[in-house]
Structure 1
Amino acid sequence: MEQPEPQPQSQPQPELAGPIEEAELELPWVSGNIVGEALAYHGPKIWAVGGGKGGVGKSLVTANVSICLALMGHKVVSIDLDLGGANLHTCLGVPIPEVTLSDYLTKKVKSIGELLTKTPIPNLQLISGAQDDLGIANLKSMHKSKLLSNLAHIDADFVLFDLGAGTASNTLDFFISSNHGILTVLPEPTSIENTYRFIRSVYYQRLKMVEELLNIRPLIDQVMNAKLSGPKNIPTDLVQRVIDLDAVRGVKLRDEISKFRPKLIMNQVRTQADIDIGFSIKAICKRYFGIEVDYVGYLDYDAVVWQSIKKRRPLLMEFPSSRLVTNFDRIVHRLLTSP
């Protein structure tokens, strides 16, 4: 059954997943900066799937977006970065792998290629974090940089990160380092609230990195010390006040912040009202943060999800007639046309 386009009930449909300008920053990055590593990176495209809380379907989305890409003929590697709580292998129908990320980071294996595990889907391989203890969940900066830089040597067109829940440093850094940062949200108050918290955390993490690059910490402090108050005490107003103080560096700050353009997927929708939540999140992020959120689609609620997990079989392979097949196909095509 053909999935209808998401349509808000009381407003015209905004354009979904428009093209993004990804011009490289014309400034030297601070040595060891995770974003600097990403900009110098020329390997497979990285898509990172995150969310504000656990249980919103991050592994489901990572697994099935990976499968869609692989079935299109792309070489794909899915990496489970939910360190300390990895379960992506289950969604892909793979037994717990014998070698995991910790073996690479602790130098038990020499190359990242030794971690690749075959899946039942042609063109799709897995790097697992399963069985990794909680000690590895707090990666050092050098480990994150090492992982990113060595991804360039993987024979793949796309690498997908299945990130942990919440706003831990690892999660924020890997989300920022990706070509596409994809947020999975449930139409529930707790999920929506945590999504805003996640976006805010990523926004300020990126702001912190950019202010170091542009050497504008004194300008930021000057704005913050002015004790902004009232309805304009919002991120967009902060950037404008920096522009007022120093037009050149303020505009560069605004341009760098604008490159943060997350993608949004509403999961387990049952009604038009659930679908419309995605448009509300998009509008609020534009008004409050001054950033564009691409609402790339929604996933219908379908009981086959838990059935596939119980069977330890990939959803799209076990239930090819599910409405979710159409949902994922549309989402992936929108992601592919949003460079």
Structure 2
Amino acid sequence: MRLIEERPLPQTAREAPQILVVGGGKGGVGKTCFSVNLAIEIARKGWRVILVDADLSCSNVETVLGVEAQVKLDVFFYQRGGKDLHAVLCDTQYENLKLVPGTTGLLDVANPKYQQKAAFIRELQQLDADLIIVDLDAGAHLNTLDFFLMTDTNGVLVITPEKTSIDNAFKFLRAALFRKIERFYQSPEVALLLKRTESLREFVATVKTSEFFDAETRKRICGELVAIARAIRPRIVVNRARNAYEAQIAANILSKFARQNLMIEPENLGFLYFDKCVPEAINSGTPFVVSYPKQKISACVTDIANRLGYF
């Protein structure tokens, strides 16, 4: 497993924040719980962290974190003229950790226009922080895909060892890749061919024989497609694993599917143990790294933060 090079604590407050996006193809895999506990653990080490609830339809970061924000993300999307995320930024009970709370789930806010999403992403990059952790909605909605692809496509994918979770994570990666290709070309011909294929390898083969393009264009597109796929380097976290072996098997299966079908090479970032303390921590509103610091699952969060280079 390749360890990401450790990075020192940022020295100046005006450096552009690092952005870590956390997603997953299936709901209920523990994505939000992981995001919250990781944010607290990194903030404890002196990093100025902002946790963003970007689940625009069913946000629950506040519940897991144990806070109740007075202003919701709706305010940002309803703002006229220049938009400012500082209007919804709120403090938490944890030092160095702030929160951008989720929305109320109203239909028009849950489905923002692309221009609104672009403004949201720009504003994230302007926040005064060392690290911004963005907790995404489950599934492969366009909102989720666009947010996942906003930061060099090195987001974290949370899965569980179950086959359904692995299958959905693969479908999420495929949707993200196809969304990136679609946005890159903005071509009706490319969009049409994408709808007819199930994998990138199949898509490349289709392009090679397509009558839409001349020979030189076909060659150029095929090279670009491979480069786009290889630029996507998702990092896998396996949640609720009984042991390291079970976690490794799950990560290996997803990596194999992604490599063979999408030409994507995921990185196995680590795993979290199955632990009964997790639902207890959620119900109490106190994240498990705080309420159960000596449990093995808390040590797993520390290990993942270390592999990410934040310690």
Residue 251 of structure 1 corresponds to which residue in structure 2? 223
Q: Distance in 2 between matches of 1:110 and 1:148?
A: 11
- Could you say which residue in structure 2 is the equivalent of 1:263? 235
Deviations 1:251-271 (A, max 9, x none): 233212211111111100014
- Show the counterpart of 2:173: 199
Give runs of aligned pairs for residues 177-326 of structure 1, distance below 5 A: 177-179=150-152, 180-212=154-186, 218=189, 234-239=199-204, 242=207, 245-246=215-216, 247-271=219-243, 272-326=245-299
In the aligned structure 1, how far is the partner of 2:194 from the partner of 2:78?
A: 42
Q: Report if aligned partners of 1:63, 1:88 keep a CA contact under 8 Å in 2.
A: yes
Q: Given the alignment, which residue of 124, 127, 136 partners 2:97?
A: 124
**Whole-angstrom CA distance in 2 between matches of 1:90 and 1:184:** 19
3-state secondary structure, aligned to 1:177: coil
- Describe the shift of the 1:84–1:252 C-alpha distance in structure 2 as closer, same or farther (beyond 3 A): closer
Per-residue deviation, 1:240: 6.0
2:74 aligned partner, one-letter code: S
Cα distance between partner residues in 1 of 2:116 and 2:38: 26
Pick aligned residue for 1:111 from 84, 99, 104: 84
CA contact under 8 A between 2:75 and 2:87: conserved in structure 1?
Answer: no
Unmatched 5+ stretches in structure 2: 6-14, 210-214
The offset of 1:164, in angstroms, is 0.8
Structure 1 counterpart of 2:226, which letter?
R
SS at 2:155's partner residue?
strand
CA distance in 2 between partners of 1:219 and 1:106 (Å): 34
Amino acid at match of 1:253: L
Q: Per-residue deviation at 1:248?
A: 3.6
Counterparts of 2:238 and 2:141, CA distance in 1: 22
TM-aligned CA deviation for residue 144 of structure 1? 0.6
Q: TM-score, normalising length from structure 2?
A: 0.85
Contact conserved, 1:18 with 1:294, CA < 8 A, in 2?
no
Can you give the 5+ residue segments of structure 1 that lack an aligned partner in the other structure? 1-14, 20-41
1:120-167 Cα offsets, whole Å, 9 max, x none, are 221110010153423311111121111111123211111111111111
Q: 1:274 to 1:150 in 2, by over 3 A?
A: closer
State the distance in 2 between where 1:142 and 1:91 align.
30
- Partner Cα distance (1:185, 1:218) in 2: 34
Q: What is the root-mean-square deviation in Å for CA atoms of aligned residues?
A: 2.6
* SS in structure 2 at match of 1:285: helix
**Percent identity of equivalent pairs:** 28
8 Å CA contact 2:255–2:266 kept in 1: the answer is yes
Amino acid in the other structure paired with 1:100 = K
Q: CA-to-partner distance for each residue in 1:200-259, whole Å, 9 max, x for gaps?
A: 1111111212233xx6x65786x779x99xxxx741253366579443443233212211
Distance in 1 separating the partners of 2:103 and 2:202: 43
